[in-house]
Structure 1
């Protein structure tokens, strides 16, 4: 593989995209050959390949694994043993997963070349978007990016979030400053500040100063962007004072932030401060994004999967005037694909998997068999390649990387929605095993989201909106039951408490009515599951939950509210903020 191709930008990047997708089968086979050649003599692979460098031997002998299958080797590298345990190239860092899917961050080996691959995918995004939304080179982007404080493994390898790795790399910090698409409102020093509150303050302040030049706004995930809006609601008065006086608020003590922001807010600009004060001090924040950044053309943030919950809030703050763009599909283990149709409705978003990122294989799944346990053995002959997937079918993603992951189950359930040249396009459905289960029921994250989407419509006539939710399977009583933690907000007039109580009970049964046949049978016929419960929590609870996970080693960039909670500490936090409990008033309808 020609490493230089990973550095292509602009039209060159689009040409490379065409080449890769037109030759997806050849690119994938060559990539696997290269991985086997490089890594075949590692301790991990050699016990299966036994000296062979043939890809057919790899496919026949190397097992499909979850994290537990590779973790002992990763721990040994982290403790100081040679990279050759898993990779033919030097492992330069360990990347930490967000840790919110199963409660504990995982360490993933990474080699220097991985940054080239991630950068290639980043460099594709703007050329793709520019085909649909021209003129983006005539202004700035207000993207809110954050780093997380690093840790080290026992042998001294950096252990950090994948986005922290990227923002601290030469690829990001050494990017050309004369490229319009890379002109951000946030100075690098504010992005690299490890104090998330100071970083957030300075990045939003810079975004306000350049408000008339901003053409696109966003963050990596919708949750982070909405947290920024909440932060702005609480701090815009101080920011206006900074702009009016040309002096940074005393709460910003980071020297690098102080230095970077001094040139942005100097000289004083009372006129700009008055503009912002009039907008933010209005009676409603509906459409606030369009008023603060009147030239913005879209919001860039991941709004697929569990992030779909945030679409109504984003639409509220943009008054549905700004398209929502989910740019790419990526994970800590590897970056995978790009959204080639940026203006698609979020519910229709698909990602084209790029064949030069890693070697892809897929476990075929039935439409309703998404709960395959990660420790269940998967025979090698059941896997299909990137070019063998079929339109409309569901699969679990398996990858092999240069850094040492071999036939590794990512845990994502995908559906094939189409093809771009020869490369399949996939819709992200859900995370495997992020589900509620008490008996024979298996409720996926997607099923839960769909059910809650229907139920929350009962709130709308009362000017009440669902801001956030999570869940867990409560087995402290018999029978066990599903518990939903809901945080709600009031748009205008407040609904009377007695009326709200009845509405929330109806929301409970509405959720149950939308869940699948097995759940409803267990509830209504077998009586193996008790009535679903909504526990209403105090305002700000889910921000506190986010703070908790970040304090446990998560990253603000990668944080996604876990839709099913397993952590005892997180549950304790939620329970301490419960202000009301509501049970489903009747059994859901079940027809044999």
Structure 2
């Protein structure tokens, strides 16, 4: 990175962060100002006229007049925007359309304007400011980083607007900034083939022994990048030594030519890596970048399960959550590394919280940011410059504290993302907690897991489908299953009651063949889910979700039979 750009950037982000921290003392006023400013600017859009935004003067009037709605209510409007109509949801021109991955539901189109993008960029700069300060207190430094996200667009609308994953839009619209931050050329993000893109990103980043960070949307994707570094160590070292780019890579000819023009031999660095490989038997991120200061990825929800495998690759490197966000909104900003609680992004949207006793109400009563209670779970609603109002994304969060007068929240699970043999509503948060505990109790890392239901419609039992990490074995699978049943009863009281009353039969454990979850991820890719957006479900009501995978062993509890 140019010598003058990094200090300027870190100074800017720390100033933005300091400004945000000051506003966390004035949460109520900041939220009200955000909402009323947005309503004035959006009052003459088609939806703004329909709901009479011009007449709204208070938060209470807003909650009385505007309904709580899911994406399906906005879909007719976003489809019209896709066809080229303007002033539908936003008064500003739509410059990009975020297309969600569809990995955990149907795909959605989210309009992006410059105003919307700027509000989210402010949250990202704030998070960088928090990261810079957090690293400084730990005698670590912020610096260049590795990212492997694709920047390929999915297409253009009939109206000529570009569309694709949210991360593609962010990277393309912020290209100047990001190409200063990356330890590899921006062009390395262009290959369409996932393996080829990861390989060239790693290859160029390996030149820089002082690289400081790695970023991926989800922890599983960081583990995959680390796995590629380990698997293709010999090829990477050879290319560094010879100044080549492996000819077996599936690279588009134009992109290969661009990259070869920027590439040359680094024999000294190749020798360093060869020595590490000979001494350690493999290459890992922390060994090849000894100054690695942080990894940034999603925290909360199903992400926590994967963190137990991080020390094997990243050792004691701090994990930073950056921002909790989706294609529709940025919800919160992480104030420190190695923490799950994140500060509500009070400058990026207007937020309401639906308490649990209102989840089934047609017109739920909501709480504001200053009214929530620590330890309670809420559905999170957002109003922001995408043109969505009181939008119910379906996320369930837990309030874990306050940062000054602003709530600290943790994403727990997606509402509707539950599994029931009867009515017990087991969530991904429940099963993630259980599997984390079992990995520790049995000292056996898992490659991944997913709970499904057996074929029986009347009395289905849980199928605990696991794949052991490479080289691992489970010595007592029946005890593992017994402990799973016990731990899930501890985590989910409703499951415990129904198991005790025999409404739910005993669960069964299925140990899947190595590579099973790689096959499942490949199936998602073939469905069109971008590889950088993969979110693997840990529970599924689809009884065919794991169809065709080889089961090495099925384990039952004593007394369990097929009768």
TM norm. shorter chain > 0.5 = yes
Please name the residue that 1:3 is paired with: none
Matched, 1:299 2:295: yes
Conserved 8 A contact 1:9-1:124: no
Q: Any residues of structure 2 matched to 1:358-369 within 5 Å, and which?
A: 358-365=349-356
SS at match of 2:462: strand
- In the TM superposition, what is the alpha-carbon distance from 1:490 to its structure 2 partner? 4.7
- In the TM superposition, what is the alpha-carbon distance from 1:154 to its structure 2 partner? 5.0
- In the TM superposition, what is the alpha-carbon distance from 1:353 to its structure 2 partner? 1.3
Please name the residue that 2:386 is paired with: 403
Please name the residue that 2:450 is paired with: 470
State the 4+ residue runs in structure 1 displaced beyond 6 angstroms.
none
Deviation digits for residues 316-370 of structure 1, max 9, x if unmatched? 2233x222221211111111221112243xxxx211112110111110126xx9x
* Cα distance in 1 for residues equivalent to 2:80 and 2:140: 47
Conserved 8 A contact 1:455-1:510: no
Conserved 8 A contact 1:148-1:556: no
* Range with bigger deviation, 18-27 or 250-259: 250-259
- In the TM superposition, what is the alpha-carbon distance from 1:511 to its structure 2 partner? 4.6
Deviation digits for residues 364-420 of structure 1, max 9, x if unmatched? 126xx9xx4xxx44425x111222222332211001122221111121222222222
Q: Any residues of structure 2 matched to 1:7-46 within 5 Å, and which?
A: 9-46=12-49
- In the TM superposition, what is the alpha-carbon distance from 1:441 to its structure 2 partner? 0.7
Please name the residue that 2:324 is paired with: 329
Q: 1:208 to 1:563 in 2, by over 3 A?
A: same
Match of 2:234 among 217, 232, 237: 237
- In the TM superposition, what is the alpha-carbon distance from 1:65 to its structure 2 partner? 1.0
Q: Count how many residue pairs are aligned between Structure 1 and Structure 2.
A: 547
Match of 2:207 among 202, 206, 209: 209
Conserved 8 A contact 1:189-1:256: no
* Cα distance in 1 for residues equivalent to 2:90 and 2:56: 14
Unaligned runs of 5+ in 1: 1-6, 588-592
SS at match of 1:214: coil
Match of 2:536 among 556, 561, 564: 561
Match of 2:102 among 99, 103, 118: 99
Please name the residue that 1:4 is paired with: none
When normalised by structure 1's length, the TM-score is: 0.85
* Cα distance in 1 for residues equivalent to 2:181 and 2:72: 42
* Cα distance in 2 for residues equivalent to 1:8 and 1:229: 31
Conserved 8 A contact 2:513-2:549: no
* Range with bigger deviation, 465-474 or 43-52: 43-52
Please name the residue that 2:7 is paired with: none
Please name the residue that 2:61 is paired with: 57
* Cα distance in 2 for residues equivalent to 1:534 and 1:329: 33
Matched, 1:379 2:381: no
Matched, 1:71 2:44: no
SS at match of 1:240: helix
Please name the residue that 2:464 is paired with: 484
Conserved 8 A contact 2:461-2:504: yes
Matched, 1:392 2:403: no
* Cα distance in 2 for residues equivalent to 1:138 and 1:379: 46
Q: 1:13 to 1:580 in 2, by over 3 A?
A: same
SS at match of 1:83: coil
- In the TM superposition, what is the alpha-carbon distance from 1:69 to its structure 2 partner? 1.9
Q: Any residues of structure 2 matched to 1:410-559 within 5 Å, and which?
A: 410-460=393-443, 464-491=444-471, 499-525=475-501, 527-559=502-534
Q: Any residues of structure 2 matched to 1:212-231 within 5 Å, and which?
A: 212-231=209-228
Deviation digits for residues 262-295 of structure 1, max 9, x if unmatched? 36641341x422332343355665x933211111
Conserved 8 A contact 1:42-1:85: yes
Conserved 8 A contact 2:239-2:265: no
SS at match of 2:388: coil
- In the TM superposition, what is the alpha-carbon distance from 1:513 to its structure 2 partner? 4.2
SS at match of 1:387: coil
* Cα distance in 1 for residues equivalent to 2:464 and 2:385: 41
